[in-house]
Structure 1
Amino acid sequence: MRLLCVCDEEEKELSRQEAPGACPQCGGKVAAVDCAHKWMFCLVPICNITKRRYICTLCSKRLVFMYS
């Protein structure tokens, strides 16, 4: 007997906007990108998550904010 498990994750970009600030490495502009993640298990959607990411437009580095 074989068990076939099909897991899948889709990521889709919803929108892209200019964000304030500059990249600390290259000094490029920062873009705020809203992404939707869809996790599926055996072709059944489990959860949908929407996240906002900040990315440098020049070096494509993902920026993370550190709160003090």
Structure 2
Amino acid sequence: MCLVFFCDDEETVVGRQQAPGSCPFCGGAVVAVDVESSWRLCFVPLCFRAKRRFSCSTCGRRLVVHGWK
């Protein structure tokens, strides 16, 4: 007997907007990207989260913001 579970992580970009500040590596503009992610188990959604990610528009590095709430 074989039991197989299919797991999937789906991410969708909801919006982009200019963020204040500049990239510490190259000095480029910072972009805030709103992402919705959902975990699915056998096509049934289990978890739904919305995240905000920051990245540089010039060099493409993902930036980590400390102290942001």
Question: CA-atom RMSD, angstroms?
Answer: 0.7
How does the TM-score come out when normalised to structure 1?
0.94
Q: 2:5 matched to which residue of 1?
A: 5
The percentage of aligned residue pairs carrying the same residue is 49
Q: How many residues align?
A: 67
Q: Which runs of 5+ in 1 are unaligned?
A: none
Moved over 3 A (4+): none
State the partner residue of 1:24: 24
Deviation of 1:65 after TM superposition, in Å, equals 1.3
- Distance of 1:58 and 1:4 partners within structure 2: 43
Q: For residue 42 of structure 1, what is the aligned residue in structure 2?
A: 42
Post-superposition CA distance 1:13-66 (Å, at most 9, x none): 000000000000010000010000010011110011000011100111111012
Whole-angstrom CA distance in 1 between matches of 2:46 and 2:36 = 13
